Amino acid sequence: MATIEFEGKSFTVDEDGFIDSFENWSEEWVTYVKGVEGIDELTEEHWKVINVLQDYYKKNGIAPMVRVLSKVTGFKLKHIYELFPSGPGKGACKMAGLPKPTGCV
């Protein structure tokens, strides 16, 4: 597990750069991932995706399936990729502080 220091905060991350626990998520983390992801500016649309992901995770303990994310935000998958170049998992979930899903996925 590597450690990332950013704007006075310390984050422990896995090999793919996901934070070790949702509890350790903060807005500084979003700013950090924004830089790594190469996103110029965070818009309301980015925050809509992040909020939907986090609300779902708090309720269900898992990221929503991509189709649910798409339906609830009203964004097509293509648009989610425009917002988060690495996609809903490695981009959006990472930024929202969610763990990555494993198994037959």
Q: Smallest gap, in angstroms, from Cβ of residue 65 to another protein?
A: 5
79 touches another protein by CB under 8 A? no
- Phi then psi for 9, rounded to 5 degrees? -110, 155
Distance CA 49, CA 59 (A): 16
16 burial type by CB count under 10 A (0-12 exposed, 13-18 middle, 19+ buried): exposed
Question: What is the amino acid identity at position 94?
Answer: K
12 touches another protein by CB under 8 A? no
Sole binder of another protein in the list 3, 8, 35, 104 (CB under 8 A): 104
Interactions with another protein, residue window 56-75 (CB under 8 A): 59-62, 65-68, 71
How many of the other CB atoms lie within 10 Å of CB of 42?
15
90 touches another protein by CB under 8 A? yes
Distance CA 91, CA 11 (A): 17
101 touches another protein by CB under 8 A? yes
The verdict on whether 104 is a catalytic residue reads yes
Selected catalytic residue, list 1, 2, 104, 105: 104
| Residues pairing with 12 in the sheet | 3
Catalytic (active-site) positions:
104
> Which residues of the shown chain bind another protein in the complex (CB under 8 A)?
1, 14-17, 59-62, 65-68, 71, 90, 100-105
